[in-house]
Amino acid sequence: MEKVSIKDVAKKAGVSISTVSRVLTNSAPVSEGLRERVLVAVEELGYSPSNIARSLRNGKTRTIGFILPDITNPFFAHIVRGVEDYIRPYGYTLILASSDQNKNEENHILDTFISKHIDGLLFTGTGDSNPKLLKRIEQGLKVVFLDRILKGVNSSYVVVNNFKGMKLLLDYLIDTGHRSFLFVNGDKNTFSARQRYEAFLEKMKSGDYRYEHHFTSFSYDAGYIFGSKLKNISQYDVVVCGNDLIAFGMIDALEEHGIKVPDDISVTGFDDIPFTKHFKPALTTVHQPIYEMGKEAAEIMIKMINEDISSVDGVILEPELVVRESTRRR
Ligand code: RIB
């Protein structure tokens, strides 16, 4: 079927091509009669403006890319919601893809987004570096790091204060008599897991505590598998988990092995995704302002695209401790 052009619409409506363009882009006032004739012609011909042509003219596709680890993790889903709610009134559309914590997939998605001429990229990395992305930034790609910052890259970012979040959690656990800690953390090379690890180590070395730390991955399965293999659970007062999904898997595995949470052992998470308060037992965790992280990053991105800011804009948001039923005084 031959593609309908703006010329066909103008001919059918009996107006100039510039009038059709003004009606479709709302770029200048047009009489109601002319507007109606154009819209009827568009409808009857089934015309859809070519985004490629428009973007080549003004150099913008009005699309923003978002590379993130796993959209099935509610943490990232709620970040995406914050981004979309901010960019939509500006006429931008988000295109996102999950890297599945896989560097090759992350770079494949980056190449695909570049080929689609995205106007900017939100990026939550699989690791702590990405030379291909660094090169794109040097070539002018506008990037905002969301939740995780890459080493040695000077670009805008929005993260939570992971150190403060861990300090709030560990101080609470220590104040409630916990002295023996098992930390089942997320993916080793990620900014967030490393910051939580460093905060944990600093606190453990500051007093007379027994502790263990293991990197796994930020997933339910990682918590469930680790919990299923745990021996001699009574040696620990608490399992500190790198995020809420690990904690959910851990609790299910412990309960399947007859271990009661929090009666026999406390368990904590990190993120405060919406399901944490409905889990049984309701999860003690560290609240990240997830939706706000998305909105803050989107605001910086729109400013970067509109050249309002060329400097690096870093935002560090505040965490909060949320005490629920998965912990008790020891
Ligand atoms: O739940 C996914 C985890 O990875 C979150 O804690 C977030 O900080 C991200 O880095």
Q: How far is the CA of 74 from the centre of ligand 1 (A)?
A: 10
- Average pLDDT over every residue of 140-155: 91
pTM of the model as a whole: 0.84
| % of the chain surpassing 70 pLDDT | 95
In the sheet that holds 180-185, the strands lie side by side as: 210-215, 180-185, 238-241, 266-268
Determine if ligand 1 sits within 6 Å of the CB of residue 252: no
Mutate to test the pocket of ligand 1, among 245, 270, 272 (most ligand atoms within 8 A of CB): 270
- Ligand 1 atom nearest to CA at 192: 10
Mutate to test the pocket of ligand 1, among 68, 76, 221 (most ligand atoms within 8 A of CB): 76
Q: Is 162-288 in the same CATH topology as 61-160+290-317?
A: yes
pLDDT bucket at 102, cuts 50 / 70 / 90: very high
| Per-residue pLDDT at 240 exceeds 90 | yes
pLDDT bucket at 90, cuts 50 / 70 / 90: very high
Helix H segments across the chain?
6-13, 17-25, 32-45, 51-58, 74-87, 103-115, 131-138, 162-175, 191-204, 220-229, 244-256, 290-305
pLDDT confidence of residue 154: 84
Q: For residue range 149-169, what is the model confidence (pLDDT) as tens digits?
A: 998 888 999 999 999 999 999
Return d(Cα 102, Cα 17) in angstroms, integer: 48
pLDDT confidence of residue 237: 98
Determine if ligand 1 sits within 6 Å of the CB of residue 187: no
Instruction: Classify 6-49 by CATH class.
Output: mainly alpha
Provide the residue ranges of all domains of the chain, joining segments of one domain with +.
6-49, 61-160+290-317, 162-288
- Ligand 1 atom nearest to CA at 245: 1
- Of residues 175, 73, 146, the one with CA closest to residue 301: 146
Just give the CATH number of 162-288: 3.40.50.2300
Determine if ligand 1 sits within 6 Å of the CB of residue 123: no
Residue closest via CA to ligand 1's atom 10 equals 192
More confident residue, 140 or 216: 216
- Ligand 1 atom nearest to CA at 160: 8
Instruction: Classify 61-160+290-317 by CATH class.
Output: alpha beta
163, amino acid identity: F
Length of the chain: 330
Mutate to test the pocket of ligand 1, among 76, 271, 292 (most ligand atoms within 8 A of CB): 271
